[in-house]
């Protein structure tokens, strides 16, 4: 039966070439399958009929049956309208249309009875119905539903009769064509266990439900299907990759690791760091290839986990590299790692775009000879000229800043096996989203901050509180601390960005006059060298204040900075606000994040700012962000086809997603290659599903 669903939509009764072309261009409906998966977004209760004499102003909508006595075109120009006198045998009411007049005139037959549905409108002492839905009684009698679907459509489709009602009509035609059962995709065992209807029943009852229960259980089944096969695809790929992709076996935890852990490390690991390190050690000690995502909030200690992982590689005779998205961040990683490992004799080097040619040559030679143990760098690491003697582990910081092709070049730096991959992000990802986007990766989470860290005090102030903000800044500078002041980058208005920044800069100079205070400034019109210089002045403690239009680089570590002031904070997303707040609170002193906003805010902006004041947990903030923005906007994945659900919703249906994943895990544990007869339907559907997808997870 599946082959019938792949029939081009032009061959469905009631469609034809013109409508087919519009369905393709307007709604991406190409086949019978696309049409049957064009689900209603709401339902209207049409279980009751009214007499015209019963109509009153409190009714949100009415349904009446009768005949059209007359049909007249009235008025001229913009006041032109089509008016039908409609009678139910005892009373009359006007039906009025202002649009699609010619099409409606041509489609109405005065000799037939009709069912009319719409909102009653009281005008000039009588009721009328404006733009009613109108269906021939004979056609209506074929519909075995009380809850009528409402479908998304467009003006172009409506002009050819494919408004919501018209789409419903061709879907009914399709369901009639599919009188034979649609092939099932789940096993009887799963259907019984979860009390789900068949796929065939679900398609019929989602489009023509006779009760709310029928609609709800059908919706649940179709949502479960979408989640189930995505999770099956991801987790089966994960199993296959573990079997097929061989990795270097790092069974030794030796001198370098133990020397650093026992003699150099000045503080205990948090329980979360210990748990994550245990997960990484288990991966590295096996015969498979590690492909792990490490999530950790700002300041949670991901870099330390990375250092310990690289020392395991070194103890097994292999080199490591760490790639960061910017030179400043790479430089900070280099300084941190080389300082931490200097006493145990580990050779750490850095390679970036600004590394001199003579230095590059030396680094290239020492990499090939094995004299360099750890190489830190930027995109420069992926150049073909950078060759390792034996690369054991690749660590990618803020992995979302790199493309798959860029990461893939590091993956191919070895001849025998690919290096183990550990990608890190300080952007917390909601659990339901990570199960979908990163469902075929192993995921580790550091959900605990090191002891002694004070919670950043977040304050939301209006522009009118400027004197209080200046007072806080002066107090913190008098204590020897530094301050960030960030303006939003408005993509469509760089001139405005620059003006706002310079206005802010001049205002700060009045409050903090030179040369008593040093102010660094970073904006989009500066060269990269100028930006690097100004940032370095702040990082080195020369500048008291850093003012910027661009977002302060992720990972910039200035423990002495105690205040983050975010101007026009309503223009930032929650993730950006959380990342910016993470630039302070990195030392032992109390730190502050001041959200400065205007007075006129949207409800969404108010929710974002109040969330920042209320919560410091990045994962909680990410859940709110998911609710506000939706999964496609949050991860930029809508266009990639990763999240292209037809009916399921990651936010509203997270319980169904979790249950679907549990069922997939249980299924693969019992029958990993789906070879048992009871799972043949699942296997067939998965093969069809795989042909439409791509494997985006081999290189994290």
Q: What is the DSSP string of 568-625?
A: TGGGS-HHHHHHHHTTS--SSS--EEEEEE-S---HHHHHHHHHHHH---HHHHHHHH
Secondary element (H or E) of residue 296: strand 291-296
**Which run of H or of E encompasses 444?**
strand 442-446
List, in order, residues 6 or more apart from 71 with CB less than 8 Å away: 82, 83, 84, 85, 105, 108, 110
H or E element, residue 247:
none
Coil, strand or helix at 126? strand
Q: Could you tell me the mean pLDDT of each successive run of 10 residues in the chain, 700 residues long?
A: 82 93 94 94 86 86 92 86 91 90 88 91 88 87 77 93 91 84 91 95 91 92 95 87 82 93 90 95 87 85 94 95 88 91 93 90 93 93 89 83 61 79 83 72 84 86 90 94 87 60 85 87 82 87 88 71 93 87 85 92 92 89 81 50 76 89 94 93 89 54
E-strand stretches of 137-266: 147-150
CA–CA dist 556, 539 (Å, integer): 8
Contacts of 233 (CB under 8 A, 6+ apart): 686, 689, 690, 693
| Maximum distance among all Cα pairs of the chain, rounded to whole angstroms | 100
pTM: 0.71
Predicted confidence at residue 27, as pLDDT, reads: 94
- Please list the residues that pair with 147 across neighbouring strands: 45
Q: Which residues have C-beta within 8 Å of that of residue 506, sequence separation ≥ 6? A: none
Residues contacting residue 647 through CB under 8 Å, at least 6 positions apart: 37, 39, 206, 219, 222, 223, 226
Please give the backbone phi and psi of residue 54, each rounded to the nearest 5 degrees, phi first.
-85, -10
Helix (H, G, I), strand (E, B) or coil at 119: coil
Residue with tokens 């390190």: 277
CA torsion sign, 335 to 339 to 340 to 343? positive
Cα–Cα distance, 366 to 388 (Å, whole number):
9
SS3 string of 364-427?
HHHHHHCCCCEEEECHHHHCCCCCCCCEEEEEEECHHHCCHHHHHHHHCCCCCCCCEEEEEECC
Terminal-to-terminal C-alpha distance of the chain: 37
Cα(5)–Cα(11) distance, rounded to whole angstroms? 11
Residue 695: per-residue pLDDT: 45
- Find, among 220, 195, 213, 66, the residue nearest to 147 by Cα: 213
Token look-up 């991860």 returns 635
- Whole-number Å distance between alpha carbons of 475 and 523: 26
Q: Which domains does the chain have, with CATH numbers?
A: 1-47+146-180 (no CATH), 48-145 (2.40.50.140), 255-446 (3.40.50.300), 457-615 (3.40.50.300)
Q: What is the pLDDT of residue 576?
A: 85
Q: Which letter does DSSP use for residue 317 in this model? A: T
DSSP readout, 526-568?
S-HHHHHHHHHHHHTT--SEEEESSPPPTT---TTEEEEEETT
Residue 43: φ, ψ to 5°: -130, 150
What is the 8-class DSSP label of residue 570?
Answer: G
Measured CA to CA, the distance from residue 401 to residue 452 in angstroms comes to 31
Angstrom distances, CA of residue 379 to CA of 352, 403, 410, 614: 7, 11, 10, 38
Could you tell me if 81 and 25 are in contact, meaning their C-beta atoms sit under 8 angstroms apart? Answer: no
């Amino acid at each position: 039966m599946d082959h019938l669903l792949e029939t081009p939509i032009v061959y469905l009764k009631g469609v034809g070439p013109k409508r087919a072309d519009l369905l393709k261009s307007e709604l991406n409906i190409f086949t019978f399958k696309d049409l049957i998966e064009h689900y209603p977004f709401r339902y209207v209760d049409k279980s009751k009929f009214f007499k015209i004499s019963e109509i009153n102003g409190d009714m949100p909508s009415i349904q009446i049956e009768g005949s059209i006595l007359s049909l007249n075109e009235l008025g001229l120009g913009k006041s032109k309208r089509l008016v039908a006198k409609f009678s139910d045998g005892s009373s009359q009411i006007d039906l009025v249309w202002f649009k699609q007049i010619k099409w409606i005139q041509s489609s109405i037959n005065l000799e037939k009875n009709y069912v009319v549905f719409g909102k009653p409108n009281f005008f000039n002492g009588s009721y009328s119905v404006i733009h009613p839905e109108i269906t021939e009684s004979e056609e209506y009698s074929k519909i075995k539903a009380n809850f009528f679907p409402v479908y998304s459509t467009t003006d172009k489709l409506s002009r050819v009769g494919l408004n919501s009602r018209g789409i419903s009509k061709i879907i009914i035609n399709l369901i009639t064509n599919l009188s034979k059962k649609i092939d099932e995709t789940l096993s009887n065992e799963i259907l019984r266990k979860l009390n789900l209807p068949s796929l065939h029943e679900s398609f019929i009852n989602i489009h023509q439900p006779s009760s709310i229960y029928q609609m709800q259980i059908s919706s649940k089944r179709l949502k479960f299907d979408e989640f189930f096969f995505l999770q099956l695809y991801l987790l089966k790929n994960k199993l296959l990759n573990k079997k097929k992709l061989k990795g270097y076996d790092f069974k030794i935890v030796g001198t370098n690791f133990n020397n650093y852990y026992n003699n150099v490390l000045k503080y205990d690991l948090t329980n979360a760091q210990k748990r994550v390190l245990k997960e990484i050690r288990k991966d590295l000690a096996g015969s498979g290839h590690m492909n792990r995502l490490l999530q950790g909030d700002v300041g949670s200690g991901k870099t330390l986990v990375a250092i310990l992982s690289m020392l395991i590689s070194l103890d097994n005779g292999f080199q490591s590299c760490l790639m960061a998205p910017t030179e400043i961040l790479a430089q900070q990683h280099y300084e941190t790692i080389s300082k931490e490992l200097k006493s145990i004799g580990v050779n750490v080097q850095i390679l970036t775009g600004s590394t001199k040619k003579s230095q590059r040559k030396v680094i290239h030679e020492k990499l090939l000879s094995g004299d360099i143990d750890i190489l830190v760098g930027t995109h420069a690491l992926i150049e073909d000229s950078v060759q390792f003697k034996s690369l054991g582990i690749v660590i990618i910081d803020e992995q979302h800043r790199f493309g798959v092709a860029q990461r893939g070049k590091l993956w191919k730096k070895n001849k025998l096996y690919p290096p183990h991959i550990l990608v890190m992000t300080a952007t917390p990802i909601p659990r339901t989203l990570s199960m979908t986007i990163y469902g075929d990766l192993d995921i580790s989470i550091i959900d605990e901050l090191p002891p002694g860290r004070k919670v950043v005090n977040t304050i939301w102030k209006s522009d009118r509180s400027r004197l209080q903000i200046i007072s806080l800044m002066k107090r913190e500078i008098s204590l020897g601390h530094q301050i960030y002041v960030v303006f939003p980058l408005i993509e469509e208005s760089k001139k405005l960005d620059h003006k706002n920044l310079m206005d802010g800069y001049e205002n700060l100079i009045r409050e903090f006059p030179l040369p008593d205070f040093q102010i660094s400034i970073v904006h989009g019109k500066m060269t990269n060298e100028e930006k690097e210089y100004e940032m370095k002045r702040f990082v080195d403690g020369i500048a008291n204040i850093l003012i910027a239009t661009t977002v302060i680089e992720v990972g910039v570590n200035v423990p002495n900075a105690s205040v983050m002031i975010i101007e026009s904070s309503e223009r930032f997303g929650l993730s950006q606000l959380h990342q910016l707040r993470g630039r302070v609170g990195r030392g032992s002193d109390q730190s502050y994040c001041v959200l400065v906003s205007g007075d006129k805010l949207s409800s969404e902006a108010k929710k974002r700012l109040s969330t920042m004041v209320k919560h410091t947990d990045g994962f909680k903030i990410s859940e709110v962000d998911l609710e506000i923005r939706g999964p496609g906007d949050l991860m930029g994945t809508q266009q990639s086809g990763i999240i292209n659900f037809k009916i399921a919703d990651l936010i509203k249906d997270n319980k169904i997603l979790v249950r679907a994943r549990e069922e997939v895990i249980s299924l693969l544990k019992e029958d990993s290659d789906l070879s048992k007869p009871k799972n043949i339907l699942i296997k067939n559907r998965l093969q069809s599903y795989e042909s439409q997808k791509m494997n985006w997870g081999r290189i994290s």
